[in-house]
Structure 1
């Protein structure tokens, strides 16, 4: 139908010719003959026979896509007589696509140089491909039955599976091309490792989904598992692979560092597994899962629903999660070896210094990259990867604040010394209020709950004010504002994130309230 006519009121649309089932069956019979011959050949193979070669998968995809497009052109999906046939064509196409990815993974596996993971990936890939063969046979048989019921004619003879045999010798060609000049390949390597780490943190939900029991799989849609969410990860891992091939592959830095091809292999296999997971999620959402407002799952005849779900969760998501985890340690090692040492001076956190939240966030950034970073404070160094080390820095920070505050108290206190404890207590209160008014101290509670010893300690107003402020600070009622800074020393990529964290208050405002961190630090929110 013309798109413009579709916008017209129904009464004003030109009359559209309707095609009868017999006429349409004749049309489909002519165009569908090659696909039905393939289906006939599939049903005549033995279960143990390895039928899914690249030529056969390619023809299945080509023919099924063409027939699917034809059926959609005539609105078969909304016709009671033809919708089942249309669904079986879609199922055959999708199953062929799943088999294509599985066959690709199995074929290229030796070249990926993958690190060991918990399961046997090679055996699991072969098993899934074999199961997919069985699923395709079943759908092919259902398709032939449906074609016969619709009056679709087909030839008696079928193409033998030998017509699509693929006898390829193992091995590869020698790498005899000259190495490319990769420009600043080292910078690209560190960018790739950093992006892989960030993507691994963003995709940490894959492992949780993969560990669920089979009866919980359906409840994962659309959160956390969905076609849309997986497709975004696929795009970014494909970009990672492309960046490597453009700037690092066949360069001198790749040939001199044996771990770089391993990084490429991990990025590639995760890309393929997520690509497969995306197609499986699409197939479930489109053909097998419940429709909006309908809690009963749809049943597509001939499709093994458990095979689809087990391949998605037990294979694609599970191994993608495992290879992401293995790639993280690899990337951290790469970043350590390609580290560019630098220094970063930032202010001490405004609210209570390096207490729980700032210390944990700093340590998580350092752990994310796996690089050694130290924090220097007045010549004393602390391990920035340890929250407890950073907690310990607060002792030095608070001592420095009190020394600075003593000078401020001496500046603002009134001339002369109070002769009575009550007068001393009043003087202490006045000093604290004046310091607060000037922004030298920040009050977290009002009115302040002073200690019973206010004004009664040994010494004059200076000693009593210093001790009382220390009490109020220890009880969380106020804090001292200074211009104290610390210096982080380590890889500049880690320091860039620490600088971003510091510019966002270490995740909190001056009163300790949580603030939203920028998207570049999204891995800290997980």
Structure 2
């Protein structure tokens, strides 16, 4: 006997699959108890958590023993995966709905209604899956538990009272460097996410053209991690407490990226389940058969609709709405400076120099103005800079000032020292290494 076998004890596969199925099957019995199928109220975060835990340990056990390559056990394994991913999505949805009163977001009524439609789809799908799981357990000779969970074991987390707010952090000095960094990163994420923005619901044909070629699990999880890092940095270095007190503007900003994070969590689970378990991928007959069974239990079109017309739509909405707040927070906390630099030789602020200046300012997000004579121009706008260029040429101005975000000014000085990326004939030249991000 190998060391690995010794660590598993003397239990056989049959004994262990019974053991790992027990609470999982009890959850299925509970879901199908009195009041089903109109029993969505029983799906609390605690029940979702139990479904997540029991399905994951069962799925891991089955995978370890090769269930994905066994025609007798494959469906039972796939059902456990379905329960896990739907429950993870449901947990995130429940969390969002519970926290709406704290988020204090604009248009939260429409968002709440849309979220409840999504949660209802998830709970109805789980209710449809539960009896199939029990039937598969019986076919495989797994005993159905005689005892069942009681509803009191899965209470909701919301009560009518709250704990006293007695940790006073109002006088805590806010670390401006972290606030600036978080606000800038939020603006950058929003800018990159603009490519996905849409304003009217997509039909299923349009959605299927996007998933998975354009919108997929890998892409969504990448953004999820970026937003999670924002929330983690914010909670660690900016505000440790809750939502009752403190600077409202900062907490409103946090609400925007927090709700986006939880929406991306749900989207990631939905896309994983669709791409791995429902999407046509040319597999063998047994896999196609099981995929068709799962498609009957979890409607792929509705799953995709909730992923895109709910998840993606509201992610875009809150990222877009949060820009103004992030910009205000950023400009309130940035270090400001003034530099004087020469104008581009010999052609002044034409297209290339104007674009490079604007890209630097947009990269950091803080307000910067180009001052030429008595005129002040928005240095994040190519058009504004070119207007300034006309004034500079007409008045034979040789030097200008930039005022505002010290981070941008540092890089603008580097750009100016390289004649804004041009030689004396107006041809492009390589930019200094510090400005490598301008090539992105």
Query: Does residue 92 of structure 1 match 2:6?
Result: no
Offset of residue 391 of structure 1: 2.4
Quickly say closer, same or farther: Cα 1:229–1:383, change in 2 above 3 A: closer
Instruction: Provide the residue aligned with 2:30 in structure 1.
Output: 41
**Contact 2:340-2:401 within 8 A present in 1 as well:** yes
Query: Does residue 342 of structure 1 match 2:337?
Result: yes
Task: Kindly provide the CA deviation profile for residues 153-187 of structure 1, in whole angstroms up to 9, marking residues without a partner as x.
Answer: 21355434454243742353232112276455233
* Distance in 1 of aligned mates of 2:320 and 2:24: 42
Task: Kindly provide the CA deviation profile for residues 317-368 of structure 1, in whole angstroms up to 9, marking residues without a partner as x.
Answer: 1111111111101111222333433112344334732123433454466567
Offset of residue 307 of structure 1: 3.0
SS in 1 for 2:23: helix
Query: Does residue 241 of structure 1 match 2:234?
Result: no
Offset of residue 139 of structure 1: 1.3
Instruction: Provide the residue aligned with 1:28 in structure 2.
Output: 17
* Distance in 1 of aligned mates of 2:433 and 2:319: 24
* Distance in 1 of aligned mates of 2:434 and 2:120: 42
* Distance in 1 of aligned mates of 2:77 and 2:430: 52
Instruction: Provide the residue aligned with 1:309 in structure 2.
Output: 304
Quickly say closer, same or farther: Cα 1:246–1:500, change in 2 above 3 A: farther
Alignment of 1:325-404 (within 5 A): 325-350=320-345, 352-363=347-358, 372-378=367-373, 380-398=375-393
Instruction: Provide the residue aligned with 1:109 in structure 2.
Output: 100
SS in 2 for 1:299: helix
Query: Does residue 280 of structure 1 match 2:270?
Result: yes
Task: Answer with 509-518 or 187-196: which moved more.
Answer: 509-518
SS in 2 for 1:120: helix
Q: Structure 1 residue aligned with 2:115, among 108, 112, 125?
A: 125
Alignment of 1:101-500 (within 5 A): 101-116=92-107, 120-166=110-156, 168-179=158-169, 182-183=172-173, 185-208=175-198, 212-249=202-239, 257-291=247-281, 298-301=291-294, 302-350=297-345, 352-363=347-358, 372-378=367-373, 380-398=375-393, 484-496=398-410, 498-499=412-413
Quickly say closer, same or farther: Cα 1:38–1:366, change in 2 above 3 A: same
SS in 2 for 1:147: helix
Offset of residue 28 of structure 1: 2.2
Quickly say closer, same or farther: Cα 1:518–1:208, change in 2 above 3 A: farther
Offset of residue 306 of structure 1: 2.2
CA RMSD, Structure 1 to Structure 2 (Å): 3.7
Instruction: Provide the residue aligned with 2:56 in structure 1.
Output: 65
Offset of residue 229 of structure 1: 2.2
Quickly say closer, same or farther: Cα 1:171–1:124, change in 2 above 3 A: farther
Task: Kindly provide the CA deviation profile for residues 79-137 of structure 1, in whole angstroms up to 9, marking residues without a partner as x.
Answer: 111111100111011111111111111111111222347x7111222221122110111
* Distance in 1 of aligned mates of 2:72 and 2:186: 49
**Contact 1:209-1:313 within 8 A present in 2 as well:** no
Q: TM-score, normalised by structure 1?
A: 0.70
SS in 1 for 2:292: coil
**Contact 1:345-1:485 within 8 A present in 2 as well:** yes
Gaps of 5+ in 1: 5-22, 404-483
Instruction: Provide the residue aligned with 1:455 in structure 2.
Output: none
SS in 2 for 1:374: strand
Offset of residue 149 of structure 1: 2.3
Instruction: Provide the residue aligned with 1:438 in structure 2.
Output: none
* Distance in 1 of aligned mates of 2:32 and 2:415: 61
Larger Rg: 1
* Distance in 1 of aligned mates of 2:381 and 2:153: 64
Instruction: Give the number of equivalent residue pairs.
Output: 422
**Contact 1:374-1:382 within 8 A present in 2 as well:** yes
Gaps of 5+ in 2: 5-11
Quickly say closer, same or farther: Cα 1:396–1:121, change in 2 above 3 A: closer
Quickly say closer, same or farther: Cα 1:496–1:172, change in 2 above 3 A: farther
Quickly say closer, same or farther: Cα 1:223–1:3, change in 2 above 3 A: farther
SS in 1 for 2:163: coil
* Distance in 2 of aligned mates of 1:288 and 1:503: 56
Offset of residue 236 of structure 1: 2.0
